[in-house]
Amino acid sequence: MDAKKIELLAAQIRLETLRVIHSLGFGHVGGSMDLADLMAVLYGEEMRYDPKNPHWADRDWLVMSKGHAGPVVYATFGLMGFYPMEEAYTLNKPHTRFPSHTDRKLTPGVDLTTGSLGQGVSTAVGAAIGNKIDGRDNRVFCIVGDGEADEGQVWEAFHLAYAKKLDNIIFFIDKNGYQLDGSTEKILDHGDLAAKVSGFGLYTQEIDGHDVRAIYQAIENAKAKKGVPSCIVLDTIKAKGATFAEPKHEHSSQPSEEKWQEALAASEKALAALQNA
């Protein structure tokens, strides 16, 4: 893997995620920005896909179970050529193809509609089972929030994935420590989240969710594991790179235009620094 190329892509995704949400003026900055590094590794290195044929039967699937992180999905798909990037600047506006939560009937590249927390994990397991039945070797990558893991349905899906020996699915838990109403520790403490997932039989790794090399290696480790599903717990910083939201671990943000411009300028500067390195 060319780590510099992937880090550059992650910086581009972060900037475009900010631009997408800025087009509306408010939105789910926190849980979108912290996934830029993962999305860069997935779409810059790991996944099979065809932007000109989003429903290609042999593609790898992405299921953003925490569907409110749609902006980082839209930014990534735009950069990968599924549509002109500027189209995503209509986020959640009338007649848009880019709703605040991902919708497979509206946005090219979205494989499953998500937003009702917990349900995307179950549908991702269903997709993995379907691909197994069809004899396909493609994979399903499912992204789950640590707050979303409050939902019992998440754990039922993990149980089913283990029982069905789904080695064609990799779950990612975005462990940023915060959810809508505060810290996950105070709202519903999971304890050692990786140990809990491992207790359900999944091959589980916990890594720095902003280290593209670690993300890549963890995915490679998971792909080599046969007969069991995998889960990678990503230790992330909520709102990573958004100057108005990161210090406060904001789930959703509606800053002033001045604060938006400061954040966009900081993101552009970070991208330029990588381009010139």
Residue 190: what pLDDT?
Answer: 94
The tokens for 52 are 């000109």
Among residues 174, 123, 184, which one has the least CA distance to residue 153?
Answer: 123
Torsion angle, alpha carbons of 208, 164, 184, 263, to 10:
50
CA 151/CA 194 separation, integer angstroms = 16
Q: Go through the domains of the chain in sequence order and give each one's CATH number.
A: 3-275 (3.40.50.970)
* C-alpha distances out from residue 1 to 5, 231, 277, Å: 9, 21, 18
Distance of CA 189 to the CA centre of its chain: 22
What does the pLDDT read at residue 222?
98
Give the model's pLDDT for residue 157. 98
Which residue, among 10, 100, 18, has the nearest Cα to 64 in the 3D structure? 100
pLDDT for the residue 277: 82
- Does an H or E element contain 274, and which? helix 257-275
**Cα-only R_g, the chain:** 17
Residue with tokens 């290609």: 56
Contact call for residues 95 and 87 (beta carbons, < 8 A): no
pLDDT at residue number 267: 97
Strands (E), 111-202: 140-145, 169-175, 178-179, 182-183
Write the CB contacts of 260 (distance below 8 Å, at least 6 apart in sequence). Answer: 18, 22, 25, 244
The pLDDT profile of the chain, 277 residues, written as one tens digit per residue, is: 999 999 999 999 999 999 999 999 999 999 999 999 999 999 999 999 999 999 999 999 999 999 999 999 999 999 999 999 999 999 999 999 999 999 999 999 999 999 999 999 999 999 999 999 999 999 999 999 999 999 999 999 999 999 999 999 999 999 999 998 899 999 999 999 999 999 999 999 999 999 999 999 999 999 999 999 999 999 999 999 999 999 999 998 999 999 999 999 999 999 999 999 8
Can you give 108-135 as a three-state secondary structure string? CCCCCCCCCCCHHHHHHHHHHHHHHHCC
Token pair 């939902």 is at which residue?
A: 151
The pLDDT score that the predictor gives to residue 248 is 93
For residues 63 and 139, what is the distance between their CA atoms, to the nearest angstrom? 11
